[in-house]
Amino acid sequence: QSYFNGTWDNNDPRTADWAFHALVQPVPEPSTLLLIGFGITGMAVWKKRRK
C-alpha cells in the first residue's frame, strides 16, 4: 500500500512551501540489485548483437 499526500502553502508570494509525505512498502535489496543486473546484462548483449 502506498499513498502520496501533499500540501501547498503560498501565503507569501515571495516564498512558497511544498510539503509531502509518502508511505511506501520496502523493496528487498537483493531483488532490486538482481533486476538491475539483468537490465545491464541485457543492454550489453543487445549492444553487442547490433555490431
The pLDDT score that the predictor gives to residue 9 is 62
Q: Spell out the domain ranges in the chain.
A: 3-50
Rounded average pLDDT over 29-47: 92
The pLDDT score that the predictor gives to residue 16 is 59
Q: Confirm whether pTM is higher than 0.75.
A: no
Nearest partner of 19 among 11, 10, 30, 9, judged by Cα = 9
Q: pLDDT grade, residue 23 (50/70/90)?
A: confident
Q: pLDDT grade, residue 31 (50/70/90)?
A: confident
Identify which has the larger pLDDT, 11 or 46.
Answer: 46
- On whether the CB atoms of residues 16 and 31 are closer than 8 A, the answer is no
